[in-house]
Structure 1
């Protein structure tokens, strides 16, 4: 090579490096990228904005069943994935590196999920848009009804729902042709949900409820205008929309329903289920690994259950003890729903003095226990609805009480620890209130971490002054068994060809839940494939990390450990593990 050519090549390399450096120097701070992602994402997912108390998009209802909106979502994640790699991760701060990793995960996993035609199966009995919109319609949920603008926003949002529901019918018809349909038992559960909202006078309809709750500050003219608009909305839009869905589901969709139970029976269903496992557990575990783990956990917890059975003097088998618990009237003491709510509040009062022994990082957000709304109570599970960041709405623990005389208290203490305090209320509120986190992380949710923390919280009962009654301790074991069984039956249904009936029987054989409850749970797993795996996978990881820290020879402080787990909000399990390992290496002390 001659000298001139060599110099030209060297100069070219230097120039290219300089241009790259200049390009990096022109990049805005990475924190600005994080904030832009957050702000641009909200109008694509406006219900999340409403959930966190951001009112800017309360009128929006993007029809995410259309190809156009789904492409917008793909373009959005691809854009930020491309922008993110322009930043040199090695040059970021530790917290920025965590945010970089989280945003990269978000873009990748959402792009993977959007590659599957899940929009062809848009309605189910467990977690579906028709249920969400009905929950908002009553005027006491996350959708605000405090100003005339709030009332007008809801009118526009309902227009969006009507368009969505008609698209759902079109998509389900395409799903029938392509073999992308719900199992028959799930369709049968959806039909009465739709039927409950497809008739009646406007004044008696759920969607008319906000009219009965006008703020006193509204003028007579505003009340008259909105009353007329809401009556027309119910009569001309809502009832016809639910009627169209009802008729379609009953007359066309039900006859075309699937006789099989698992996702493996859908086109490319195995790949979809594997993706859901990755999404919900934030791990690379296979369905076989998870199935085997579930079987071992069921065996371990069964041995603990036998000890409690013997302690209370029950002479029959463990399965007979389950049957006794299901029908034991001493565990069904209530005649009024208010008594159930009062019982949960009493549990809270009992544990309050001990919370400070385990936690010094606690949320400011208010908290309430409420009964689940009647229209969804029959098929609902107990659940936590997070507080709004601005403090206008408390964290709410919803308890379904469809038949108070059959309400069984055996798992109430563990249920409160999981759904309320220190479970979802502590974790979710602390995440929202953490000013050090970029906005997109304050409401980020990873089921393995969030549900794992909640299940881990159940194990803290004795440390918090609960489980003094052996039946309540058995209730905790039952709740843990319930999550262990999920590892077995979820993978059994979706990757091993188990039928709905096989999964129901396996649950009946290994836990004390009522058959009615077990049926609802199994049908939930059939719908939300993979989600039920996250609880036990996350709990086992947090417990593993606590045990590791306790045995590491450091000056272990349970409050500091809980701080480390909670302080960064929801993260994938590998990021949590790295964080705790660094803390252990530092001797359990804060790094400067």
Structure 2
């Protein structure tokens, strides 16, 4: 579960530098605007008050959701007082919810009740663990998000002079945040709760990239480079000077201080081990991370065994494809062939790669209309991931705004277009299905556009649901007219294999003593992937324990439900209706989802 961060999938880091963009069109017919929430007044008021409190506590989240009332605020969430404030906040709302008699609520309100209760209890349980002593990592955190919001191409609006002044006010809070983050890192050092050296080594260059002597070379100068022509000359002069000063006297010194601290103090104290099991309180923290990410009570060992079973199954299927194409050699040789064969690297420029993704979109359109009755009105774009973060980024989706004025964006890291392999991780058709359409773009946009849901459901998210849906969408490729080339299908199996491997290596790293190097080797031995990307993936799991488990756990539950309802309903089963029902209520814990879907199936009978 990722409730305290902007809803995103696959490590959301939105725009920070000029990007190559390709405008797309909304798919098929737009979803009809739903009615306003219909919960009983006291319950609806509770949910509304909670969302209002969340917006005030987490104004960056509010901005990402299109709520611009707090665009000038950047609270210091690294202080003990702020953590205590959060605890009181969630405890208060849990107590208020428990005053309602769930049995007397309508069915949809019972769903909201269950999601809300789960959320409050899970977030409160998280305060028992030590993650606050690791304020950010190589794959995410406020230092990266500041570039995202302040670049002029992300969620922070830069349309009016007030918008520009709002961002300056936000910048003023970053120095205090950086000082407090260093204090929390130091507390972790004192208690033996530190990040692995391999991750810290990746964080330092990211921070250094934000250090400039010429403010016009900063990513934070982006809004000034695009000052609206309608601004008065006085505002243009004033804002240009203020932004240059903020970059050189606030942002650059804060990034320099963070970098120097990590380099000189933290890195020498960072650990050589890879997993949470090696930290004080680490085993309990990992069990919590597993339960929060999967929204289940599955143990790490159960998930590990599922991973081994899925890896074995998928290797068998990949062997069948290898034999189908007549490849002479074993599976590792087949992997090497797919990785190195020039015909699988057809592109010369980044734009050709982006055009290739749009071509996939167009091939799917006729079949999409058959499988989804409800589709988003939010526009969609494909963009190249910005250069400053492309080397450590995965393909990822950044949600649009709920009103459709900001498009959902599918980011594609392209380090060298001539080396972009359409069959290797991420396989091209496969990753588009997951990250873009009908994956995260449909799932997140439809959720945000459903105004009948309380805000905490419209803008909340659970990895097991969202990433489970994304991986489930990869399995729809043949039904959508993709995977006609056996090598693309082999790539798809490789994409699923990648998620199965995660079950093995995430648990292996954090609960079974697997080293970083052993995890990288296991990945290289079982899929088509470069050593560079395998390393980035394993380091991602090291820094964000449990999250990578959510994909396969969620997908297996969705596939299980689809198979069950197809058998139960026979000719009454409609795949489009199944998909619409899955998505209409937004993300939720898997147990709550299953109860909701069982009730839907009963209605179909």
**TM-score between the two structures when normalised by the length of structure 1:** 0.94
The reply to whether residue 491 of structure 1 matches residue 483 of structure 2 is no
Q: Residues 346-376 of structure 1: CA distance to partner in whole angstroms, max 9, x if unpaired?
A: 1001101110111111111111101111111
Residue 583 of structure 1 corresponds to 600
Residue 307 of structure 2 corresponds to 294
Residue 373 of structure 2 corresponds to 360
Q: Residues 77-99 of structure 1: CA distance to partner in whole angstroms, max 9, x if unpaired?
A: 00001111111111111111111
Is the contact made by 1:384 and 1:425 (CA closer than 8 Å) also made in structure 2? yes
Deviation of 1:327 (Å)? 1.6
Which among 545, 563, 576 is matched to residue 580 of structure 2?
Answer: 563
Q: Residues 94-116 of structure 1: CA distance to partner in whole angstroms, max 9, x if unpaired?
A: 11111111111111111111222
The reply to whether residue 435 of structure 1 matches residue 451 of structure 2 is yes
Of stretches 27-36 and 462-471 in structure 1, the one that deviates more from structure 2 is 27-36
Residue 173 of structure 1 corresponds to 186
SS at match of 1:464: coil
Separation of aligned partners in 2, 1:188 and 1:397: 28
SS at match of 1:29: helix
Deviation of 1:157 (Å)? 1.1
Of stretches 427-436 and 550-559 in structure 1, the one that deviates more from structure 2 is 550-559
Separation of aligned partners in 2, 1:95 and 1:151: 41
Task: Look at both structures and tell me which one has the larger radius of gyration over its CA atoms.
Answer: 1
Residue 117 of structure 1 corresponds to 130
Residues 29-428 of structure 1: pairs in structure 2 closer than 5 A: 29-410=42-423, 411-428=427-444
Is the contact made by 1:384 and 1:419 (CA closer than 8 Å) also made in structure 2? yes
The reply to whether residue 444 of structure 1 matches residue 457 of structure 2 is no
SS at match of 1:586: helix
Of stretches 546-555 and 344-353 in structure 1, the one that deviates more from structure 2 is 546-555
SS at match of 2:69: helix
SS at match of 1:552: helix
Unaligned runs of 5+ in 1: 1-26
Separation of aligned partners in 2, 1:251 and 1:321: 45
Separation of aligned partners in 1, 2:600 and 2:220: 51
Is the contact made by 2:188 and 2:194 (CA closer than 8 Å) also made in structure 1? yes
SS at match of 1:322: helix
Deviation of 1:583 (Å)? 2.2
Separation of aligned partners in 2, 1:128 and 1:509: 32
Deviation of 1:395 (Å)? 0.6
Separation of aligned partners in 2, 1:121 and 1:337: 35
The reply to whether residue 542 of structure 1 matches residue 555 of structure 2 is no
Separation of aligned partners in 2, 1:500 and 1:320: 24
Is the contact made by 1:198 and 1:246 (CA closer than 8 Å) also made in structure 2? no
Separation of aligned partners in 1, 2:422 and 2:146: 31
Root mean square deviation of aligned Cα: 1.1
SS at match of 1:369: strand
Q: Residues 534-589 of structure 1: CA distance to partner in whole angstroms, max 9, x if unpaired?
A: 0000000000000001111441111111112111110111111112222222335x
Of stretches 314-323 and 529-538 in structure 1, the one that deviates more from structure 2 is 314-323
Q: Which fold has the larger relative contact order, with Cα–Cα distance below 8 Å and residues 6 or more apart in sequence?
A: 2
Separation of aligned partners in 2, 1:488 and 1:329: 31
Separation of aligned partners in 2, 1:244 and 1:162: 9
Where has structure 1 moved over 6 Å in runs of 4 or more? Answer: none
Deviation of 1:28 (Å)? 5.7
Residues 435-514 of structure 1: pairs in structure 2 closer than 5 A: 435-514=451-530
Deviation of 1:377 (Å)? 1.0
Which among 505, 522, 544 is matched to residue 528 of structure 1?
Answer: 544
Unaligned runs of 5+ in 2: 1-39
Separation of aligned partners in 2, 1:176 and 1:454: 37
Residue 28 of structure 2 corresponds to none
Separation of aligned partners in 1, 2:72 and 2:386: 23
Residue 24 of structure 1 corresponds to none
**TM-score between the two structures when normalised by the length of structure 2:** 0.92
Separation of aligned partners in 1, 2:116 and 2:527: 39
Separation of aligned partners in 1, 2:150 and 2:326: 50
SS at match of 1:56: coil
Is the contact made by 1:198 and 1:241 (CA closer than 8 Å) also made in structure 2? no
Is the contact made by 2:462 and 2:588 (CA closer than 8 Å) also made in structure 1? yes
